[in-house]
């Protein structure tokens, strides 16, 4: 899955690899933009439970951002300057996948964020343990996904039309996420080198995206969107 052999004790990507700072910065902007999105989407909830669930998810994203800010500061980076190269791509993703309904916002929170997590976790095994620990910490499940699964599953069981619409929405989220990930890698040389090293080669990157699509399908199945 990564460039390391299973028997190797040395990570393929050293802690001082220049791409690590870019990796942390991309994650940091992803977390802070997710915070604002979830806080905004919470207003669409028809119930107080829904508002609290998304607000709790937003709070977790902010906590993850602060972890990454500390990691970047420890490396001598200003978090705002470091995040700047990733603003356009992530803002474009969120603009192109702006939910128009409460259920769309829930699917995006569950499926969309899962796609991003899969991308970063794919390379975590090849990172220095100190770096991998930060990546895994900020991408850990926040414990609020059960609410999303329950809400979406109940809705699609009672409406075939809603199910069909959300299935299309899920495919759109996947396509947009992969497009933006490829765009970011094309723009950031150090990050691209890091991803290629973690994947082994360009064919390894293609295989990584295939695995991401498989896990996306698994999440859609959990939501009843099959």
CATH number of the domain that residue 73 is part of? 1.20.1260.10
Which SS3 state, helix, strand or coil, does residue 127 take?
Answer: strand
* Tens digit of each residue's pLDDT (9 = 90 or more) over 46-59: 999 999 999 999 99
What confidence score (pLDDT) does residue 10 get? Answer: 65
What integer is the mean pLDDT of 185-211?
87
Beta carbons of 166 and 95 less than 8 angstroms apart: no
Contact (CB, 8 A) for 31 and 68? yes
Is 5 inside any structural domain? no
User: Phi, psi (5° rounding) for residue 40?
Assistant: -70, -45
In a domain, 27, yes or no: yes
Residue 192 resides in a domain = yes
Phi-psi region of 11 (alpha: psi -120 to 50; beta: other; left: phi over 0): beta
Residue among 109, 95, 174 at smallest CA distance from 142: 109
Confidence of residue 3 (pLDDT cuts 50, 70, 90): very low
Q: Give the whole-number percent of the chain exceeding pLDDT 90.
A: 70
What 3-state class would DSSP assign to 130? helix
219 has pLDDT over 70:
yes
Lowest mean pLDDT among 58-62, 73-77, 93-97, 181-185: 181-185
Residue 56 domain boundaries: 18-222
Question: What's the pLDDT band for 203 if we cut at 50, 70, 90?
Answer: confident
8 A C-beta contact, residue 152 and residue 106: yes
CB 82 within 8 A of CB 28: yes
> In the structure encoding, which two tokens stand for residue 27, read together?
């994650």
Give a yes or no: residue 120 inside a domain. yes
> Is 1 inside a domain boundary?
no
What pTM was computed for the model? 0.89
pLDDT of residue 48: 96
Residue range 147-158, pLDDT digits in tens: 999 999 999 999
Residue 10 is assigned to a structural domain of this protein: no
Q: With respect to residue 57, please indicate whether it lies within any of the assigned structural domains.
A: yes
Looking at the predicted structure, is the pLDDT value of residue 134 above 50?
Answer: yes
Beta bridge pairs of residue 127: 13
Identify whether 3 is part of a domain. no
pLDDT greater than 50 at residue 2: no
User: Does the structure show a pLDDT above 50 at 4?
Assistant: no
Query: Which three-class secondary structure state does DSSP give residue 13?
Result: strand
- In angstroms, what CA-CA distances link 83 with 28, 79, 111? 7, 6, 23
Instruction: Specify whether the CB–CB gap between 223 and 111 falls below 8 A.
Output: yes
**pLDDT in the model for residue 5:** 43
Number of domains in the chain: 1
Say if residue 103's pLDDT is above 80: yes
Question: 64-68, 191-195, 217-221: lowest mean pLDDT where?
Answer: 191-195
């Amino acid at each position: 899955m990564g460039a390391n052999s299973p028997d190797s004790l040395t990570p393929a990507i050293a802690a001082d690899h220049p791409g690590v700072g870019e990796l942390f910065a991309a994650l940091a902007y992803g977390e802070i933009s997710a915070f604002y999105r979830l806080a905004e989407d919470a207003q669409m909830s028809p119930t107080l439970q829904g508002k609290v669930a998304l607000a709790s998810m937003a709070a977790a994203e902010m906590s993850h951002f602060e972890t990454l800010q500390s990691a970047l500061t420890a490396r001598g980076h200003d978090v705002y300057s470091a995040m700047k190269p990733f603003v356009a791509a992530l803002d474009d993703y969120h603009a192109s996948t702006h939910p128009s309904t409460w259920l769309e916002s829930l699917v995006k929170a569950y499926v969309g964020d899962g796609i991003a997590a899969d991308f970063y976790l794919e390379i975590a095994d090849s990172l220095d343990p100190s770096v991998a620990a930060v990546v895994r910490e900020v991408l850990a499940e926040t414990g609020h996904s059960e609410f999303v699964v329950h809400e979406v599953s109940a809705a699609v069981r009672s409406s075939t039309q809603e199910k069909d619409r959300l299935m299309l929405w899920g495919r759109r989220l996947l396509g947009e996420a992969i497009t933006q990930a490829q765009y970011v890698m094309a723009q950031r040389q150090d990050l691209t080198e890091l991803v290629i090293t973690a994947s082994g080669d360009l064919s390894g990157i293609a295989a990584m995206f295939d695995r991401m699509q498989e896990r996306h399908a698994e999440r859609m199945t959990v939501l009843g969107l099959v």
